[in-house]
């Protein structure tokens, strides 16, 4: 002889249904064949979701025009915070750079890597004196900047919109610990 508790999920579903057999699929759909397994699975998925959307990914909205035309103003992207766990940032990556925290960040493209010398001449980027190929740059500009050598912990970042006056465009060297992650579109 077996006893089933009155408040068990199965008995509740059957009572509500009035017909035990025809509504067993509702119970399976709602809580699975084994409610303990379903509970564990739910907790695991909740933890994974929190990790992904709180730790690994950050949603950002672009404010400002310094990344035009690649990232238009008010467009939204995800920042992958795990992008640089296994390798260092690379040239051409669009990265998020933190201020005091991650609620406000700068969105810039890496053009210079640690140890390199970066200069602007007649609107073109020179890395160690060699012209940098920038297919994302569709407009010409007249920026000029004397060579700057980066330390082993610094990257040179700049927006894509070089049609802006150079003095209004926030660009320069940033340390590795400020780079939060890479955006993906």
Partner 1 sequence: MKVVFQLAVVTLLTVAGILLWSYLFPSPQHIIRARLNSLAHVASFNSQQGILAGFNAAHNVGDFFSTNVEVDLDMTGNPDVTLTGRDQIVQTVMRTHATLNELKVDFPDLNITVGPDKNTATADLTIRAQIDGDGNSVAEEMKFTFQKIGGQWLITHIETVQVLT
Q: Which residues are catalytic?
A: 66, 108
Q: Rounded CA gap, 76 and 66, in Å? A: 15
What is the closest distance, in whole angstroms, from the C-beta atom of residue 113 to partner 1 in the complex?
Answer: 16
Torsion angle in degrees (nearest 10) through CA of 85, 90, 93, 97: 60
What is the closest distance, in whole angstroms, from the C-beta atom of residue 16 to partner 1 in the complex?
Answer: 30
Select from 79, 92, 170 the least CA-distant residue to 135.
92
In the complex with partner 1, the residue whose CB is nearer, 91 or 173, is: 173
- Residues present in the chain in total: 185
172 interacts with partner 1 by CB under 8 A: yes
**69 near 163, Cβ under 8 Å?**
no
103 interacts with partner 1 by CB under 8 A: yes
Torsion angle in degrees (nearest 10) through CA of 59, 65, 67, 71: 50
In the complex with partner 1, the residue whose CB is nearer, 71 or 157, is: 157
- Tell me the window of 23-31, 36-44, 77-85, 96-104 that interacts with partner 1 (CB under 8 A): 96-104
In the complex with partner 1, the residue whose CB is nearer, 101 or 135, is: 101
55 interacts with partner 1 by CB under 8 A: no
Strand boundaries in 23-93, DSSP class E: 57-61, 76-80
102 interacts with partner 1 by CB under 8 A: yes
Q: Within 10 A of 179 (CB to CB), how many other CB atoms are there?
A: 23
Q: Rounded CA gap, 159 and 170, in Å? A: 8
- Residues within window 151-170 making contact with partner 1, judged by CB under 8 A: 157, 167-170
109 interacts with partner 1 by CB under 8 A: no
Give phi and psi for 78, each to the nearest 5.
Answer: -105, 140
95 interacts with partner 1 by CB under 8 A: no
In the complex with partner 1, the residue whose CB is nearer, 23 or 178, is: 178
Q: Quick one: which of 51, 63, 130, 131 contacts partner 1 (CB under 8 A)? A: 63
Positions touching partner 1 (CB under 8 A) are 63-64, 97, 99-104, 106, 108, 157, 167-174, 178
């Amino acid at each position: 002889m077996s006893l089933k508790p009155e408040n068990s999920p199965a008995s509740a579903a059957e009572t509500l249904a009035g017909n035990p057999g025809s509504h067993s699929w509702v119970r399976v759909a709602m809580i699975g064949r084994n409610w303990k397994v379903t509970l564990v699975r739910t907790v695991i998925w909740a933890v994974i979701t929190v990790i992904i959307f709180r730790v690994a990914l950050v949603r950002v909205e672009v404010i400002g025009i310094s990344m035009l035309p690649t990232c238009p103003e008010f467009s939204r992207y995800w920042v992958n915070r795990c992008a640089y766990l296994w390798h260092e940032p690379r040239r051409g990556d669009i990265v998020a750079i933190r201020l005091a925290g991650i609620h406000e960040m700068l969105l810039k493209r890496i053009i210079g890597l640690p140890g390199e010398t970066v200069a602007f001449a007649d609107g073109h980027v020179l890395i160690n004196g060699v012209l940098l190929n920038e297919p994302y740059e569709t407009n010409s500009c007249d920026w000029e900047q004397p060579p700057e050598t980066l330390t082993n912990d610094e990257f040179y970042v700049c927006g894509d919109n070089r049609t802006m006056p150079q003095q209004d465009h926030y660009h320069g060297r940033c340390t590795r610990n400020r780079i939060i992650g890479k955006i993906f579109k």
